[in-house]
Amino acid sequence: MQKTGMAVWDQVEIAQRQCAAWRFPLRSIWVERIESEWHALSLPEKGRRAEARSMFIPRTQKPESSQWRHYLHRESGLVQPTPVLPDRPIVVRPDRSLTLLPGQSTIFFLEIPVWFRLSTVGPRAARIFEEPLCVLTRTWFGDPVTGDLCWGLAARLHHSIDSVETSAWIAVCPLMIENDSDTDLDFEKICLHVENLSIFRGTLRLWANSLNVIFKGPDQATQIEIVHTPPGFEQGLILVSAARQPAAGWNIRKTFGMLKYFTDF
């Protein structure tokens, strides 16, 4: 097995006493199968901009570490690595100050680092572990009493998909924003409930659901709509991981929940 790019998310058959490695720019993951145990190790990388790749490695070359974790699961050696979105909302802080004037609309492409999930495949399929491929900062969104613990992400807001680098460990989330108010909309931070979003696999990129945001003013509810169909910026997208907490369309509770989170626009 020697795979690069999006192929690192293909199914892999790991034989007994065989060690597989998935190497990403900021984190590497090793998995070894011994009897009915799965041994997993996740170590940070030095951040070099390299293409994601996966391979089998000789057992003698596996890293010596006390951080190997052991999971017991009696299933055959076929495993499915899956990109999943983080388990908490993400607060995106744009790298530059941006203001959307009244009556204007725009589209941004947000880059969200994914987590690596490894599951067994078969009649007793089970999730073995999950590991973030980029450790984000912890942050708080909202007031100190009723806010939410989130992951913080400093990111560039891309206006065009062409400026987004292709990557096998970054999901692109198209964000269509319309300022339907009389006031300026300043982008200081944006809270995205990524646990409500799915991931789709394309040929060069991973995609998250598109979001339609209609800003009606600081005192009114901001409408957020999750587009459940694959983003139309690439053809032939395949759903690879469903949302952790699927949002079943548009409902009142969600509306008011989102209102709270989006008051800091």
Partner 1 sequence: MIQQITVWLQSISPDVLTKALRVALTILIGLFVVRVLAVVTQRFIMRKSTAQRQMIARKVIGYTGFFLVLMGVLSELGLKLTALLGAAGIVGIAVGFASQTSVSNIISGLFLISEKPFGVGDVIRIGTTTGIIQSIDLLSIKIRTFDNLFVRIPNEKILTSEVTNITRFPIRRMDIVFQVDYEQDLNKVHDLLARIARDNPWSLDEPAPVIIFSDFKESGIEVLLGLWFAKSDFMDLKNSIMKDISSSFATAGVRFAHPNRLVKIVEGSAATS
- Contact set with partner 1 (CB under 8 A): 91, 135, 137-141, 144-145, 147, 149, 152, 189
153 vs 134: CA distance, rounded Å: 10
Report the alpha-carbon distance of residue 214 to residue 219 in Å, rounded: 13
Distance of CA 101 to the CA centre of its chain: 30
Nearest-10 Cα torsion for 132, 138, 142, 146: 90
Task: For the CB of residue 150, give the shortest distance to partner 1 in the complex, in Å.
Answer: 9
Minimum Å gap between C-beta 259 and partner 1 is 19
Cβ closer to partner 1: 22 or 141?
141
Of 81, 14, 91, residue with least CA distance to 53: 81
Q: How far is the CB of 226 from partner 1 (least distance, A)?
A: 25
In the complex with partner 1, the residue whose CB is nearer, 147 or 217, is 147
Task: Closer to partner 1 by CB, 124 or 138: give it.
Answer: 138
CA distances from 94 to 49, 112, 154, 155 (A): 21, 13, 6, 5
Report the nearest approach of partner 1 to the CB of residue 144 (Å): 6
How far CA 46 is from CA of 49, 111, 209, 217, 261, in Å, comes to 9, 20, 30, 43, 34
Residue 243 CA to residue 90 CA, distance in Å, equals 14
CB of 124 to partner 1, least distance (A): 31
The nearest distance, CB 140 to partner 1, in angstroms, is 5
Q: Which two tokens stand for residue 226?
A: 């999750």
Nearer to partner 1, 42 or 209 (CB): 42
Contact, 169 vs 113, CB < 8 A? yes
State which residue, 142 or 217, has the beta carbon closest to partner 1. 142
Of 70, 5, 60, 4, residue with least CA distance to 31:
70
Q: What angle do CA 100, 227, 180 make, to 5 degrees?
A: 30
Q: Which is nearer to partner 1, 37 or 143 (CB)?
A: 143
